[in-house]
Chain A
C-alpha cells in the first residue's frame, strides 16, 4: 500500500535575532490512502510548520533545510512554483485553525468557494457558482443559495469552518490537511465538524492529516497517530496501540495525563519546560524531562525504528529495553 504522501527527514529552520531555531528536526512520516493520520504535540512542537512545509509555504525567515516530501512520485521540495501551482489547493488542500479569520472578509462566501472550482476545475463562472452552492449544502450550510451571497462576518465560527472545508474539498484533493480545525469552536460544534471531516474524507476518498493538540480528538477520529515533541517525531503508531501501549517516555506521559473517566480529554502539560528550540543540543530534545535519560541521548539523536508491527519509536532507552527482553 503506497503512501499518498511520504515525508522523510524533514527539517525546517527559522533565522531570528537570537539565532537559528530548528522548528522541525528530521520529521519522517507518511499518510496512507483513505486514512486519517493524527499529528499531535504541544503548541510549538512544529506541527503547523510541518503542515506549511508540505505545501511548500514556509516563508522567510524560515526555510526547509533538508528532507524530502514525496507526493505523486515527485519530491515537492524540488518542484518549481509553476509545478506546485497544480498541486497546491488542487491535490493537497488545507483547512486552517482560525475559520473566522481564514476567510477573506470582502468576498462573499459563495464566491470564495466558486472561484476555486473555476481555478482548479476550469469551470465557467455560472457552473462554478452552482457547484459552490451544492458544496455548501454538502458541508451542511442551511439555505446555501441565500447564504452563499453573504459575507464571512455574517457566519458563526462553526459555519465558517464548514465553508473552509467546502473550499478545501472543491478541488477534490487527495490529501486534506486540517490544522486544529476545531480550535475556538464549542464542544458540540467541534464534534460535528470532526464528523463532517471524517464522513467527507470517506466519501471522497481523500486522506486526511489532522493536526491537533487534543488526544481526545485523535482517539475519536484517527486511524494512526504521529507524536511530535519539540520538532522531533517521537512515535508513530495505530491509535489503539498508542493508547494501550505507548512506548516513548513522552507519549507515556501524554497518555497518562489524560483523565480517564472524562470524555472531554485534553492533553495535560507534561512536567518540565518545553526545551528551547534555539540552537538545541544535537541529541534527543526530551532529555531535560525524560526519566530514562542516558548519556548517549544528549550526544546522538535516536531515529524512528520499528518497536512493534506498524509501531515506530525514536528512543534509545526503548530500544535497549526491547533488546534486553
Chain B
C-alpha cells in the first residue's frame, strides 16, 4: 500500500518532466532560427515558394498548435524522415537500436564488474597503495575523453599489436548477422549456436565496450568507495564485527548490500553518461548504433535524426531514472514498508 503511494508519487513526477523534455526538443527543432522551410526548400528558392512550404508544414500556425502536431506525431511514432537515408527516422532507429543496446549493456557490465569490487577494496584498504591507485585511476578515468581513450585503444591494440579487429562495426568481414531474436549479436549467436558469430561479435565489442565501460567505471567505484567507507564506520557494521561475523560476510554481505542502495540510485546517472559516451564511442568505432546515426546525419546538415535521437535519449533517461527509483524503493525495506 505504502509502496503504491511511493510508486504513484514518482510516476506523477515523470509526467511534467516528459512534458518539459518535449517542449525543449520541440523548441530546438522548430522554433529556433534556421527556418525549416528554407532548409527543406533548399537555397535560391523564391519567398512565395518558401511561404507555401511553410504553410504546408504548418509553420504559420501559433507555436502551441505546432507543438500539438509535433507531440501527436511523436506519440504515433512519427519522428520525421531522414534526408540522408530517405527513410522514416523511426525505421532507421529500430534498425540501429540493438547495436547501441548491445554496446551499452556490455559497457555497463564491465563498469559494474570492475567498479564495484574496486570500490569495495579501496574502502576496506583505505589509504593503502591500492586505495591510492584506485583513486588515481578514478580521477584520471573521469578526466579522459572517451574519443581519446578509444583512439589510443585502436592505435595500441589494432595498429601496433594487432590483437583487436579493425574498428569497423559489429561483425568481422564476411560474416552474416545471426537471425534476429533480441538483435544483440552475441545473444542471438548463442541462441542459434553460431559460435563463429559469437566470437566475432565479442571480438568487435571488446574495445568499444572496454573504453565506454572504463569511462563510467570511475563514478561507480567512487560511489561504492565512499558509501562503503561510511557504512564500514556505521554502528551496525561495528556491531557485526563485535558479533564475530566473518570478515568476508561483513564486507561483501552486510556492508556491500547496504552500499548498493546508493549505487542503484546513481545507475540512472551512469546510464546518462553511457548514452552520451555512446554517441562518441560509436562514431570512433564506426559502430552502427543510433548515436553514430545521429552524428553522421549532422555531416549532411540533416537535423531530423539528431533531434529525434536527443528526444529518444531524454525520454529513455527519464524512464530509466523512474525505474531506478522504483527498484530503489523495492530494495530498501524502509521505503517498501514505511
Is A–B contact present in the complex under a CB 8 A cutoff? yes
Chain A residues with CB under 8 Å of chain B are 55, 57, 60, 81, 85, 87-90, 93-94, 96, 98, 101-107, 115-116, 119-120, 151, 153-154, 164, 167-168, 171
Q: Give the complex CA separation of A102 and B126 in angstroms.
A: 23
Q: Interface residues of A: mostly helix, strand, loop or mixed? A: loop
- Known contacts: A151-B333, A151-B337. The answer to whether A102 contacts B244 by CB under 8 A is no
B228 CB, min distance to chain A CBs, angstroms: 14
Instruction: Write out, one digit per residue, whether chain B residues 66-109 have a CB within 8 A of any chain A CB (1) or not (0).
Output: 00000000000000000000000000000000000000000000
Does A90 contact B240, Cβ atoms closer than 8 Å?
no
B337 cross-chain contacts in A, Cβ below 8 A: 151, 153-154
B244–A90 contact, CB under 8 A? yes
Q: Is the CB of A120 within 8 A of B244?
A: yes
Interface centre among B238, B258, B261 (most CB of A within 10 A): B238
- A85:B244 contact, CB within 8 angstroms: yes
Selected contact of B239 from candidates A81, A103, A120, A171, CB within 8 Å:
A103
B334 within 8 A of A: yes
Q: Which residue of B236, B241, B243, B334 contacts A153 across the interface (Cβ within 8 Å)?
A: B334
Q: List residues 305-334 of chain B with CB under 8 A from any CB of chain A.
A: 331-334
The CA of A103 and the CA of B254, in the complex, are separated in Å by 10
Identify 11 residue pairs between A and B in the complex whose beta-carbon atoms are under 8 Å apart, listed by A's number: A55-B242, A89-B242, A93-B242, A96-B242, A101-B235, A101-B236, A102-B239, A106-B257, A115-B245, A153-B333, A168-B243
A164 to B240, CA, bound (A): 11
Judge whether B246 is part of the interface by a CB distance below 8 angstroms.
yes
Min CB distance A83 to B, Å, is 12
In the assembled complex, how far is the CB of residue A201 from the closest CB belonging to chain B, in whole angstroms?
18
Query: What is the distance, in angstroms, from B289's C-beta to the closest C-beta of chain A?
Result: 37
B338 part of interface (Cβ distance < 8 Å)? yes
Contact A105 B258 (CB under 8 A): yes
A106 to B238, alpha carbons, bound, how many Å?
16
Are A57 and B238 CB-contacts (below 8 A) given A106-B333, A153-B334? Answer: yes
Report B240 CB to chain A, min CB distance, Å: 7
Contacts of A98 in B (CB 8 A): 235
Docked-complex contact B236 and A57, CB < 8 angstroms: no
Q: Say whether A167 contacts B243, CB under 8 Å.
A: yes
B-chain residues with CB within 8 Å of residue A102 when the two chains form the complex: 235-236, 238-239
The chain B residue with its CB closest to the CB of A104 is B236
CB of A100, distance to nearest CB on chain B (Å): 9
Inter-subunit contact B258/A104 (CB<8 Å):
yes
Q: Which residue of B lies closest to A116 (CB)?
A: B243
CB neighbours (8 Å) of A106 from chain B are 257-258, 261, 331-333
Complex Cα gap A153–B333 (Å): 8
- Give 9 nearest A-B pairs by CB, closest first: A89-B244, A89-B243, A88-B244, A101-B235, A102-B235, A94-B242, A151-B333, A102-B239, A104-B236
Complex CA distance for A116 and B241, rounded to whole angstroms: 12
Instruction: Name A164's contact: one of B234, B239, B244, B333 (CB within 8 Å).
Output: B239
Please tell me if the beta carbons of A105 and B334 are within 8 angstroms of each other in the complex: yes
Which of B127, B242, B261, B331 is close to A88, meaning CB atoms less than 8 Å apart? B242
B233-266 interface code vs A (CB 8 A; 1 in, 0 out)? 0111011111111110000001001100100000
Are the CB atoms of B338 and A153 closer together than 8 Å?
A: yes
Residues on A with C-beta less than 8 A from B236 are: 101-105
Instruction: Give A119 to B240 CA distance when docked, in angstroms.
Output: 12
Measured CB to CB, the closest approach of chain B to A301, in angstroms, equals 30
The distance from the CB of B83 to the nearest CB of chain A, in whole angstroms, is 53
Known: A85-B246, A102-B235. A57 touches B257 (CB 8 A): no
CA distance A93 to B245 in the complex (A): 12
B239 adjacent to A119 (CB under 8 Å) = no
The CA of A90 and the CA of B242, in the complex, are separated in Å by: 9
Give the chain B neighbours of A103 by CB distance below 8 A: 236, 239
Q: CA A106 – CA B246 in complex, angstroms?
A: 18
Q: How far is the CA of A104 from the CA of B244 in the complex (A)?
A: 15
Q: Is the CB of A96 within 8 A of B338?
A: no
Contact across chains for B245 and A94 when beta carbons are under 8 A apart:
no
Q: Provide the bound-state CA to CA distance between A158 and B268, in Å.
A: 38
Q: Name the residue among B236, B240, B241, B243 with the largest chain A CB count within 10 angstroms.
A: B243
Q: Contact check, B332 vs A119: say whether CB atoms are below 8 A apart.
A: no
Q: A residues within 8 A CB of B126? A: 60
Residues of chain B with a CB closer than 8 A to A120's CB? 244
- Give the distance in Å from the alpha carbon of A81 to the alpha carbon of B246 in the complex: 10
CA–CA, A164 and B239, complex, Å:
9
Shortest distance between the CB of B158 and any CB in chain A (Å)? 45
- The smallest beta-carbon distance between B243 and chain A, in angstroms, is 4
Q: How far is the CA of A171 from the CA of B244 in the complex (A)?
A: 10
Known A89-B244, A119-B244; judge A96-B238 contact (CB<8 A). yes
- Chain A nearest CB, measured from B338 CB (Å): 7
Q: Which residues of A contact B243 (CB under 8 A)?
A: 88-89, 93-94, 116, 167-168
